Amino acid sequence: MNKSLFLLPALLASAIAQANEAVDLPDTIVTASRQAESASDSSAATTVFTRDDIDRLQPASVADLLRRVPGMSITTTGGIGSLTSLSLRGTSATQSLVMIDGQRIGSASAGQASLEFINVDQIERIEVVRGPRSALYGSDAIGGVIQIFTRQGSDGLNPRIKLGVGSNQTYTRELGLSGGNGQTRFNLGASLNETAGIDRTRHNADGDQDRDGYRNRAYNASFAHNFTDDLEVGIRVLEQSGNTEYDLFGNPEDDFRLSTVATHLQWQVNDVWRTRVEAGHAEDKRDSNYDFFAFAYNTYRDSASWLNNLQLGERNTLQTGLDWYEDRLNSTSAFNQTERYNQAAFVQHRYDAERFSTDLGWRHDDNEQFGHENTFNAALTVPLDTHQQVIASYGEGFRAPTFNDLYTAFGANPDLQPEKSKSYELQWRGQWDDTQLQAAAYRTDIEDLILLDPFFVAQNISSARIHGLELSAGTTVLEWSTLVSATWLDPRDRESGKQLPRRPKRLLSIDTDRQFGVVGLGFSLVANSTRYNDLDNTQKLSGFGTVEARANWLMSDALRWDLKIGNAFDKDYRLANYNYNGQTYAYQNEGLTGNLALTWTPQF
């Protein structure tokens, strides 16, 4: 790939520094501290996508949206609905926590969240916290936390209907109704998306030469009510189910169901104390069907939390919390145990002085299988002037072993310890004439990585070291609202010195949009450098860059047309390989595609 692509951030940043107008970046985030705060006040590096961003960018999937996050690389096994893995700041797919409305959705057996089954039509907002957050969330939050919030109500009565058609016999339909007033808000939504897909491997043996389709049915509902100005209750429900096909030993397919229920009660007791109780349930079901056999891995998770925020004077804030969740696994494979619980307590303190602020936090987890784990975080924020600030932080993280690691009938190791990490980060943030610039340099050391030994038994036998540098900027250049991010990573296995698999060392993302009256135009560029498919670095996957174009037309106040051209230059690229009968095959990605959608949102 042309390395000159990675000079673009420096050139663009130079132009941005001369601009007078800025893109309207969202400034409120919940995930970084488990309470609402200004993103500019948070010591964590964050990225937020609102519903307006989703409508403007027209992503085909959650992965298509998240690939814009600094430090985020995506691996798919071919097209929409295929197995999707993310790497945040050079960590693995199982080392970042993924939640929907506060509910963990990772599989208890594999440890990975089924991002490929989440329909973007049901999403109101996505928050990404980059960097360790185990001192707040416990296991899995080594690379960061991704939280998806489902659709919610707004004032008035707002129906919506969306119909779309695209390449590879792709069809989308969405129907929704939201509304509310000063006290009550609600949302109801349903969608049906399907595509004939592509041949994900071009492997012509065992009937694998056909297209691999995908079908997703999704429903969501939310309700929130304020009994008084100080007391609120709410519930959010999401269910997604369907079928995805893939290539492996014939014509296999998975029937899936991903669902969450989240409830809360929040009470502002007095001027000092705010308390919140949360409870929820999540399910991740996957039934795999092959020509001659079938198997299932179904995860059920119940959870509850009690969060308290204490405003101790003008400068001190104290946050405390109790967490509990229990995982249960129902599988056709044999496991020595099929359930376990985790309970935890945490405390966070923030001090705001005139010339600096500090964040200190500690969490203790008690897991039924591996015992106790303590994690700690600290941050110091120092304003340089009214436009700039620097943040130095330290954070610890850990990942608990999965059911596959601990309880499988063959190869289980009940003596496994959690993977543990220590991260050091230095951030700089600046804002001039509403132009926002950010830089972050960090190092993460991960110990006790879990790998299979020569006898296919899971062991704590490896470690990793990750260096990273992220640059991002947002502004309006010549009336084009522009966001750009560039990342340089050095993710290494410390035992061998090799580059960690499926993680590129350089990432670039540029989004630029402009509205010409009732017509909008936009373009995106995503570029990744070389990555390796394996830990030994023998299977090299070339770097690539893809371009997409989009347009919208506000035909009336209620009718909007959206057009997207994906992979506009029909780039042929690979994100992963797989081995079959001693041969190496590449998973295919979609080439040039087009999608057209009509959205009707009448006002009442």
Give the whole-angstrom CA distance, residue 37 versus residue 579. 47
Least confident of 203-207, 230-234, 281-285: 203-207
Task: Identify the pLDDT of residue 559.
Answer: 96
Q: Where are the domains of the chain?
A: 3-600
| Residue-by-residue DSSP string for 375-432 | EEEEEEEEESSSSEEEEEEEEEEEEPPPHHHHHBTTT--TT---EEEEEEEEEEEEEE
**168 band by pLDDT with thresholds 50, 70 and 90:** very high
Enter the DSSP assignment of 333: S
User: What is the arithmetic mean of pLDDT over 36-42?
Assistant: 89
Of the two residues 409 and 99, the one the predictor is more confident about is 99
Q: How many CB atoms lie within 10 A of CB 185?
A: 19
Give me 512's structure tokens: 């630029």
Helix (H) or strand (E) holding 39: none
Is residue 227 classed as helix, strand or coil in its secondary structure? strand
Contacts of 3 (CB under 8 A, 6+ apart): none
**587 band by pLDDT with thresholds 50, 70 and 90:** confident
Enter the DSSP assignment of 107: -
**What percentage of residues in the chain have a pLDDT greater than 70?**
94
Give the whole-angstrom CA distance, residue 194 versus residue 188. 21
Q: Which amino acid is at 598?
A: L
| pLDDT one-digit tens code per residue, 115-148 | 999 999 999 999 999 999 999 999 999 999 999 9
3-600: CATH topology is: Maltoporin; Chain A (2.40.170)
Can you say whether the dihedral through the CA atoms of 86, 90, 95, 97 is positive or negative?
negative
Residue 448 has pLDDT above 60, yes or no: yes
| Contact between 91 and 142 (Cβ < 8 Å) | yes
Nearest CA to 108 out of 143, 66, 139 is that of 139
* Mean per-residue pLDDT of the chain: 90
Cα–Cα separations (whole angstroms), residue 326 to 240, 246, 260, 279, 373: 22, 32, 14, 12, 17
Q: Which amino acid is at 166?
A: G
| Contact between 543 and 572 (Cβ < 8 Å) | no
| pLDDT one-digit tens code per residue, 488-546 | 999 999 989 999 999 999 999 999 999 999 999 999 999 999 999 998 999 999 999 99
User: What is the arithmetic mean of pLDDT over 185-198?
Assistant: 94
User: What is the arithmetic mean of pLDDT over 402-406?
Assistant: 90
Task: Identify the pLDDT of residue 491.
Answer: 96
| Contact between 530 and 544 (Cβ < 8 Å) | no
Of the two residues 583 and 462, the one the predictor is more confident about is 462
Give the whole-angstrom CA distance, residue 496 versus residue 182. 60
Contacts of 80 (CB under 8 A, 6+ apart): 60, 61, 116, 170, 195, 197, 214, 590
Task: Identify the pLDDT of residue 208.
Answer: 60
